Chains A and B, each alone.
Chain A
Amino acid sequence: MTIAPVVKQISVKAAPERAFQAFTANTGAWWPKTHTIGKAPFETVVLEPRVGGRWYERAADGAETNWGKVLAWDPPRGVTLAWQISASWAYDPDLITELELRFEGRDDGTTRVSLEHRHLERLGANAAAVAEQLENGWAPIMQLFVEFVGA
């Protein structure tokens, strides 16, 4: 049994090169400020542009918090990242969920951006451990997260 992947598609009015560059090299400029796992707000998000490169957020004081790594690097057509953030909102080097981005240029000058976040069932063991720890299931975990990111 697997969990259905999260699949998204959007169209942007820009060439694939620009879309790819914005996604990978300027992540910190558009990434939701509240969707972060570092102890302090991030100043930037860094994606090292090569297979095996790190993907992390960096706070103003220089502290780095890992998110994952680059699994496939094919500019400007696509990039596949390991999203290694567990259900307890922490970096877990043993957890790999895959995030694949595709950038397809069209004749009208726009780019179709396709996103697939898959292997979410791998979050399972951790999800259960967290539930056991808090003894109250998922709702309070989500509440803690909302309070954490809302602070």
Chain B
Amino acid sequence: MTYRADGLTALGDGTRRAIFERLADRPRAVGELARDLPVSRPAVSQHLRVLKEAGLVDETPDGARRIYRIDPRGIGAMRDWLDQHWDQALAAFKDFVETPEEPAP
């Protein structure tokens, strides 16, 4: 699982990084993002467009608004690692539990 090159370029901008981090916290609408950041609403929309084209955020309509959220594909690698980790850890745990306890001295 790798980020696309354009995704890295997209996050090279400080404002886009700030937007992305806010969306990782929870999904938000454009207006809410603009209130939190020292940039105009059209500028936020433009940054969101770049992030979306880079595959880093996704949007869903909510009435007249659009709600933006992070696209979780980039987290897939960590999840894959955890999936394997727990298989391995639980197998070791099972071996340990099923080994008869040493008799008390």
Contact B94 A12 (CB under 8 A): yes
Q: B1-39 toward A: CB 8 Å interface, digit per residue (1/0)?
A: 111100110011000010011001101000000000000
Complex contact B72–A3 (CB within 8 A)? yes
Q: What's the Cα separation between A120 and B75 when bound, in Å?
A: 8
Residues of A within 8 A of B7 (CB): 131
Q: Which of A98-122 contact B (CB under 8 A)?
A: 113, 115, 117, 120-122
The reply to whether A29 and B96 form a contact with Cβ atoms under 8 Å apart is yes
- A10 near B75: Cβ-Cβ < 8 Å: no
Q: Which residue of B lies closest to A88 (CB)?
A: B78
Tell me if B102 counts as interface (CB < 8 A to partner A). Answer: no
| Interface size bracket, B side | 35 or more
Does B8 contact A131, Cβ atoms closer than 8 Å? yes
Question: How many residues on A have C-beta within 8 angstroms of the other chain's C-beta atoms?
Answer: 43
* B interface, over-half SS: helix
- In the complex, which residues of chain B have a beta carbon less than 8 angstroms from the beta carbon of A32? 85, 88-89, 92
In the complex, whether A59 has a CB less than 8 A from a CB of chain B is no
Task: Knowing A6-B82, A23-B93, A138-B74, say if A13 contacts B8 (CB, 8 Å).
Answer: no
A-B contacts, 26 of them at CB < 8 A, read: A1-B70, A3-B75, A8-B86, A8-B90, A10-B90, A10-B91, A10-B93, A18-B97, A22-B93, A30-B92, A32-B89, A35-B88, A115-B90, A117-B82, A120-B82, A125-B20, A125-B21, A128-B3, A128-B21, A128-B56, A131-B7, A132-B11, A137-B1, A137-B4, A137-B8, A138-B3
Q: Which residues of A contact B (CB under 8 A)?
A: 1-4, 6, 8, 10, 12-14, 18-19, 22-23, 26, 29-32, 35, 87, 113, 115, 117, 120-125, 127-129, 131-132, 135-139, 141-142, 145
9 further interface pairs, Cβ-Cβ under 8 Å (given A3-B76, A14-B98, A30-B93): A10-B91, A23-B93, A35-B89, A121-B72, A125-B70, A131-B7, A131-B8, A132-B12, A145-B81
